[in-house]
Amino acid sequence: MPKQKKKCDEAQRKWFEDALERIKKATGARTQVQLAEVLDVRQSSISDAKRRCSIPAEWFLKLYRSHGLDPDWLADGVEPVYINASKAKIPADTILREAPTPYGRMNSRGRVVSVSSVAGAQTESNTWAPQPLEELSIPESFFRPQLQVIRMDSANMEPVIARGAFVGIDQAQKQHPDGDIVAVHFPHQGLMIRRAYLRDGEFLLKADNPQHSDLTIPAEEMAERTLGRVIWVLQNLAPM
């Protein structure tokens, strides 16, 4: 009697689909035909990989050689995206905004990071410096080389960000698209977490909670006083 082929379980299929999506985003391949051309394989090879929920190791090697991509990121979403960034075809920030993350996966790894107060170490200074309060374990995919985690001490962004929430700020991202949530430093007050909107030569920093007032800051000061962009929030949804 012929041996039956082992079927993929749900977790294996999810892993495969996420990894394949990362490959497509990083190479710009939109169809199976384009993907086969990038990998220099037959379309039937991709169909076979889908049936097995398995990506051949030589694909990762090819993508490293052709695009400089990190096999760990392709397989599990663990940054950095590129080992050899000189071969990058697409900016890493663009890929990370679009590619799925492995949060919640059984084999996801964690990393311990320091958590600072919103006020920082020197409240009277013109620049913000962290004041460590505690440590927090986060999924590896949440980590960034210039990540700063703070503990929210205000209700001004509720219900999106609750008082007491852990807020991840990427200090490498200081652009201000309208509506993005950013962390901006105000001397004597510390970091203010607000949605930023450019209006008539100044930035309007809006609170999501209508009980809290909005702030304004001259556009020419925004870059210097911006710590970074809020990229994730960890908080309890139910009252303790």
Last residue of one domain, picked from the residues 78, 98, 118: 98
Look over the chain and give the mean of its residue pLDDT values, rounded to a whole number. 85
pLDDT in the model for residue 6: 56
Indicate if 94 and 130 belong to the same structural domain. Answer: no
Indicate if 115 and 94 belong to the same structural domain. Answer: no
Last residue of one domain, picked from the residues 41, 70, 98: 98
Indicate if 78 and 129 belong to the same structural domain. Answer: no
Residue 40 is assigned to a structural domain of this protein: yes
Indicate if 157 and 227 belong to the same structural domain. Answer: yes
Going by C-alpha positions, the residue among 129, 177, 149 that lies closest to residue 234 is: 149
Residue 57 is assigned to a structural domain of this protein: yes
Give the Cα-Cα-Cα angle 3, 6, 12 (nearest 5 degrees): 170
Indicate if 89 and 115 belong to the same structural domain. Answer: no
pLDDT in the model for residue 3: 46
Residue 105 is assigned to a structural domain of this protein: no
Judged against a pLDDT cut of 70, whether residue 145 lies above it is answered with: yes
Last residue of one domain, picked from the residues 98, 133, 155: 98
Residue 189 is assigned to a structural domain of this protein: yes
Query: What distance in Å separates the CA atoms of residue 110 and residue 196, rounded to the nearest whole number?
Result: 31
Query: What distance in Å separates the CA atoms of residue 165 and residue 87, rounded to the nearest whole number?
Result: 39
Residue 104 is assigned to a structural domain of this protein: no
Indicate if 162 and 215 belong to the same structural domain. Answer: yes
Query: What distance in Å separates the CA atoms of residue 178 and residue 61, rounded to the nearest whole number?
Result: 40
pLDDT in the model for residue 32: 87
Q: Is there a contact between 82 and 88 (Cβ–Cβ < 8 Å)? A: yes
Q: What is the mean pLDDT of residues 41-47?
A: 92
pLDDT band at 107 (very low <50, low <70, confident <90, very high): very low
Instruction: Give the range among 90-104, 136-150, 188-202 with minimum mean pLDDT.
Output: 90-104
Cα→Cα distances 199→40, 82, 212, 231, Å: 50, 37, 20, 23
Indicate if 162 and 229 belong to the same structural domain. Answer: yes
Q: What is the mean pLDDT of residues 76-96?
A: 85
Domain ranges, residue 207: 110-234
Residue 239 is assigned to a structural domain of this protein: no
Indicate if 118 and 229 belong to the same structural domain. Answer: yes
Rounded to two decimals, what is the model's pTM? 0.55
Indicate if 78 and 158 belong to the same structural domain. Answer: no
pLDDT in the model for residue 98: 61
